[in-house]
Structure 1
Amino acid sequence: MKCVELFAGAGGLAMGVHLAGFEPQAVVEWDKWACDTIRENGARGYPLVEGWNVAEGDVRHFDWSGLGDGIDLVAGGPPCQPFSMGGKHKAHDDGRDMFPATVDIIRRLRPRAFIVENVKGLTRSSFANYYQYILLQLTFPEIGRLSSEGWYEHFLRLQKEKASGNAFNSGLTYNVVPTLVNAADYGIPQKRERVFIVGFRSDLGIEWSFPKATHSFDALLHEQWVTGEYWERHAIPSNMRPLPPEKLQSRINSLEFLPPETLPWRTVRDALVGLPDPRAKKAKHIANHFFQDGARVYPGHTGSPLDLPAKTLKAGAHGVPGGENMLVHEDGSVRYFTVREAARIQTFPDGYHFHGSWTETMRQLGNAVPVMLARIVASSVAERLLVSQMLELEALLSKNKTKGVA
């Protein structure tokens, strides 16, 4: 199946989509450093990205006509700064808002499905109308904004079209499913909340829902404080184990009689298994695993404890915010995650190397979609598309057989 990747960054979403069975026809990203990361991995033969058609530039200026027909999936994470909790919250007034460009590309390529990822801030009450406007544009990509219309006037017109039901009977439409997801609930060692907007072309008649969560905090508590399997797995003796959190004691007690059916959240300690301290000599032989000095604690930035999923890795406008990208040791001391450690937390494979300075590479990682989360979502989409193709083929064969008999 063929796909197109927009706003590819360092390739997290694209790699997950590729692992799900899609073949990228174009991978478009404007940032030079992120493009260099993908290109350099491809040049040295890294299998997941080797041979990718990487285009460095604005998606609005890419020549989509050369791709032809038959694109199965468009995937991408439009720049999140207009909606980020740490941004200026300008939404439609922010020149970096690439949702209009995303809708335009979907209108041109008419993919069978799309996957759009963005920050949780998109769902904030202050953006409520604009969020609904985005969903309506993705539902009816052919009902474009008129030159005489502001975004709100266009929004009202789309609402009327939806209410009338006429737009569903003609033209290009999509069945759109938005979901707010915590990556930790899917085995990612990071508490990263993101919005996924998945759409299937309406003429395919596909019914789909977001994959069910596979991991939970309760299961982690059970493994740590009821069975102790977590500490045994990490070879931590009884006298070195921390005490269970007092505020969670009643919850832990209840889990003793009703064990969760899910897998436990993966923690920072789980993610970093096998990586030496970056200050050790043997760390020099591991790509992107070097010590970065200067980490410190301050209000709101206290770092990520070893025995929980990491806090959300972020990409700051002036480098990296302190707490979200810091590791907290058992003794309370802190240090920055190395690039390789941050890559583990974002589920990039160890063989994938990042290009640029520490600030640049951490920015790439802070903006990325966790590879394994992308794979889970894209695999679910691929499954539904393949079933749809099979049903189409069976219907065609049945029709031809009937004609032959006649």
Structure 2
Amino acid sequence: MPMEDRPQDAAWGGNEGGVEGTQRLDLTEAAPPTTVTVEEMADGAVHDAEGADVEEPRLVAAGDGGEGLREIEALYGRQLSKAKDRVSRWRAMQVKEAFRIGDLWTELTGMLSAKEVSAFLASECQIPRRDVARYVRLAKTLGDQRELFVETGVAVSVLLDLAGQDEFVRNEAIKMIEAGRSLQAKELRGLKRDIGLARAANEGKLDESRARDLKNAAATKARGAANAWLASLEVLANEVIALSELDRSVSVAGTALDRVSKLAEAAAKLVAEFPIIAGTDFATSSELARSRPDRGSWKKVDAALRRIAQREVFIEEHYQRPRTTLLAFDHYLVWDLAWVFGYNEDTRPDAAMKRMREAGDVPLDTRAQPGRVRAETIRRPTVLEICAGAGGEALGLDAAGFRHLGLVEIDRDAAATLQANRPEWPVIHDDLRGLDLAAYEGVDLLAGGVPCQPYSAAGERRGAHDERDLFPEALRLIRQLKPKAVMLENVTGVLQVSNSVNRLRILSEITSLGYDAEWRILEGPDFGLPQKRHRAILVGFQPGIMHRFRWPQPFETPAPTVGEALRDLMAAGGWPHVDAWVEKASGYAPTLIGGSQKKMGIDLAQAKSRESWIKIGVNPSGRATGAPGPDAPANHLPRLTLRMMARIQDFPDEWQFQGSDLQVFRQIANAFPPRMAHAVGASIVRALTGSEIDLAAALKAPKPVRGRLNLAALRARTPLEDVDERA
């Protein structure tokens, strides 16, 4: 009977009610669901994964139990053999590619410096920075045995480790591979140790193990003494806790005083042993004091033990009604001793986070608390901003939680805009080139939108050959100020092929200074901007920080369209057809351009983007002085006012720009939109402090504009006494 015609209970996988003597074999977990007979498999009706794009079958027996099982095992054996062949080919390919990376290094270093090639492989090719040097060493030290390693398919991880061993270890490992061994990484460590012992014996080196044994024994004894001391302290602390729980009405005479005396003896012993175990200056060490600024400390532990040793464990509590005085246990002693074992009086999670941050630790939030719009930090991280412009980036970084120590801007009108809107910001109106900013050494973040014209299409993309390129000045400041983090913003042209060499020089210089850095392109609509603004962002950190940084994730909800973003401004003049215009303006604006000082007119577009503006219902030629009036026809193609342009760039409506209309247009077009800077800044704050915010909620929160008082508006108000009279 064909298998598919048999009763289900008689199939392999169960013998309840099935054929007598059938062996139970459950292949449910081992094979996919399709059922075929052994005969069909033997006839080649089912192909492997490389032969045809079909579902792999479930193997079930047909016929005699023992014979069917043997056939199934044989079929599985053939499948495993094919799998082994595929894995072997894959491993050989991996070995070839590993050597090719080393070959590529040799090829590229004929054109670029080794530092630049390292930056290219790490940042552009996504090879782990540590492995770049290992691949290079692999090609140099093991290149002669390349064919052997390809043939045997040695794991690349083993090869990279092997390339770093000395000649003796490499030679022995190669002999093992030639003899057919499948070398494991842990075996290299054993080879290194044992070959080192043989070399030491042959070369007559002194045996350092004897002194090492003594040191290990001493360390073990010290740990044992410390553990015993802590165990005694734990016993004492529990007795102190029990004593502190006595009812206040209980007299301190008798039993209580006896218990205090026993505690005093135990405490005195601990006080005497403490300096022997930890050293005389351990409790008062200034380094420990800096690393543990919370309420507890070893100094307080020592003081608590001394008080207990002197039987000073009660304090007087005075009451007015009725007038009386009671002796109560000093509960601070409990917490001073419990601190040693990790306890704190305030056990709330936010308090624990605060203590960790005060101690210099960085507890990392992996999920943002809904609605949290500001990072939880001990202090606001600081930022020095260069090429600050009209304040777009500054607004975003301020909203992300940074405190500005300085904002450098060469343009007079842009500097005036910063000062007019934020008088408290320390604006430095000066040329960045050669500017001495040594006073800002140690700032948390160095940020800036270095001039983009050298890398833009409008600026002919001359890159490093453009006199406006300020990346060298930014690198000078990184070298001088040693900030914890760096954020440099530019147009995406900096990532173009034509600028590859200069980009690699920037990366190699930053990495040579010890920073981990990478470029990324962010798009405005991903973060709620009604503009197709793409910006290239370089973010870098000092060692030990980058693992906490992740690029901000695009929002799930779409950004508002140009029509939605500008409806109220476009309707301000009474245009009756504004809703129809909003429906037409249902897309995102092209990137606002025109920030260069060489541009002498107000025009939103170049030839390529003019049609995009017109398609969304905007005339990109020039600018309007106001919104369309009530007489504007339905087919009117409005121009944008400067305020509309500023809103598309995410500036608050209250932000007051200084200078002529042309200068204001330049400031707006040249800006890094605040919400984009806010998004990146929040990610940098998370990397510095470990605190993550709800970015979507944070970007919806209004940005405060703390400018000068609007005296004109105040003068226009009706005096309070006049209001009282009318009432």
* TM-score of the two chains, using structure 2 as the length reference: 0.37
Match of 2:501 in 1: 129
Q: Which has the higher contact order (CA 8 A, sep 6+)?
A: 1
* 2:442–2:483 CA contact under 8 A, matched in 1: yes
CA shift in 2, pair 1:363/1:278, >3 Å: farther
Gaps of 5+ in 2: 1-380, 576-582, 619-633, 692-727
2:407 aligned with 1:27 = yes
Counterpart of 2:670, as a letter, is: N
Q: Which one of the candidate residues 196, 202, 213 is aligned to 2:554?
A: 213
2:564 and 2:520 mapped to 1: Cα distance?
27
Match of 1:36 in 2: 416
CA shift in 2, pair 1:137/1:333, >3 Å: farther
Question: 1:113-155 CA distances to partner (integer Å, 9 max, x unpaired)?
Answer: 0111000111111112112222222222xxxxxxxxxxxxxxx
* 2:561–2:586 CA contact under 8 A, matched in 1: yes
1:375 and 1:362 mapped to 2: Cα distance?
22
Q: Which one of the candidate residues 383, 391, 396 is aligned to 1:11?
A: 391
1:76 and 1:339 mapped to 2: Cα distance?
24
* 2:548–2:690 CA contact under 8 A, matched in 1: no
Q: Which one of the candidate residues 418, 430, 433 is aligned to 1:57?
A: 430
2:652 aligned with 1:349 = yes
1:267 and 1:139 mapped to 2: Cα distance?
40
2:568 and 2:486 mapped to 1: Cα distance?
37
Q: Which one of the candidate residues 465, 470, 485 is aligned to 1:98?
A: 470
* 2:548–2:686 CA contact under 8 A, matched in 1: no
Deviation at 1:208, TM superposition (A): 2.1
Q: Which one of the candidate residues 591, 615, 634 is aligned to 1:312?
A: 591
Deviation at 1:336, TM superposition (A): 2.5
Match of 2:439 in 1: 66
2:587 and 2:402 mapped to 1: Cα distance?
33
Q: Which one of the candidate residues 430, 453, 456 is aligned to 1:81?
A: 453
2:700 aligned with 1:359 = no
Q: Does the residue aligned with 1:139 lie in a helix, a strand or coil?
A: helix
Counterpart of 1:266, as a letter, is: P
Q: Does the residue aligned with 2:516 lie in a helix, a strand or coil?
A: strand
Counterpart of 1:24, as a letter, is: H
* 1:3–1:25 CA contact under 8 A, matched in 2: yes
Match of 2:138 in 1: none
CA shift in 2, pair 1:335/1:306, >3 Å: same
* 2:546–2:687 CA contact under 8 A, matched in 1: no
Q: Which one of the candidate residues 244, 262, 267 is aligned to 2:561?
A: 267
1:173 and 1:377 mapped to 2: Cα distance?
21
How many pairs does the alignment contain?
280
Q: Which one of the candidate residues 515, 521, 525 is aligned to 1:184?
A: 525
Q: Greater Rg, structure 1 or structure 2?
A: 2
1:195 and 1:37 mapped to 2: Cα distance?
25
2:392 and 2:671 mapped to 1: Cα distance?
5
* 1:278–1:338 CA contact under 8 A, matched in 2: no
* 1:179–1:197 CA contact under 8 A, matched in 2: yes
Counterpart of 1:54, as a letter, is: V
CA shift in 2, pair 1:329/1:198, >3 Å: same
Match of 1:329 in 2: 617
Match of 1:394 in 2: none
1:364 and 1:192 mapped to 2: Cα distance?
16
Deviates more, 1:352-361 or 1:314-323: 314-323
* 1:116–1:196 CA contact under 8 A, matched in 2: yes
Q: What's the RMSD between the two structures over aligned residues?
A: 2.3
* 1:78–1:99 CA contact under 8 A, matched in 2: yes
Q: Does the residue aligned with 1:107 lie in a helix, a strand or coil?
A: helix
1:305 and 1:211 mapped to 2: Cα distance?
31
Deviation at 1:279, TM superposition (A): 4.9
2:584 and 2:536 mapped to 1: Cα distance?
25
Matches within 5 A, 1:86-165: 86-140=458-512
* 1:114–1:199 CA contact under 8 A, matched in 2: yes
Q: Which one of the candidate residues 504, 514, 518 is aligned to 1:173?
A: 514
* 2:455–2:462 CA contact under 8 A, matched in 1: yes
Q: Does the residue aligned with 2:586 lie in a helix, a strand or coil?
A: coil
Counterpart of 1:73, as a letter, is: L
CA shift in 2, pair 1:89/1:305, >3 Å: farther
CA shift in 2, pair 1:198/1:131, >3 Å: same
2:452 and 2:514 mapped to 1: Cα distance?
25
Counterpart of 1:183, as a letter, is: G
Q: Does the residue aligned with 1:100 lie in a helix, a strand or coil?
A: helix
* 2:540–2:546 CA contact under 8 A, matched in 1: no
Q: Does the residue aligned with 1:376 lie in a helix, a strand or coil?
A: helix
* 1:14–1:75 CA contact under 8 A, matched in 2: no
Counterpart of 2:525, as a letter, is: A
Q: Does the residue aligned with 1:337 lie in a helix, a strand or coil?
A: coil
1:25 and 1:322 mapped to 2: Cα distance?
34
Question: 1:330-373 CA distances to partner (integer Å, 9 max, x unpaired)?
Answer: 95543331111111111111111111222211111111001011
The runs of 4+ residues in structure 1 deviating greater than 6 Å are none
1:305 and 1:135 mapped to 2: Cα distance?
44
2:570 and 2:482 mapped to 1: Cα distance?
48
2:457 and 2:588 mapped to 1: Cα distance?
20
Counterpart of 1:19, as a letter, is: A
Counterpart of 1:307, as a letter, is: S
Higher helix share: 2
CA shift in 2, pair 1:387/1:207, >3 Å: closer
Gaps of 5+ in 1: 42-48, 141-171, 215-261, 282-303, 389-406
Deviation at 1:264, TM superposition (A): 1.4
* TM-score of the two chains, using structure 1 as the length reference: 0.65
Question: 1:239-285 CA distances to partner (integer Å, 9 max, x unpaired)?
Answer: xxxxxxxxxxxxxxxxxxxxxxx21132111211422446569xxxx
Q: Does the residue aligned with 1:275 lie in a helix, a strand or coil?
A: helix
Deviation at 1:205, TM superposition (A): 5.5
Deviation at 1:24, TM superposition (A): 0.6
Counterpart of 2:455, as a letter, is: F
CA shift in 2, pair 1:57/1:380, >3 Å: same
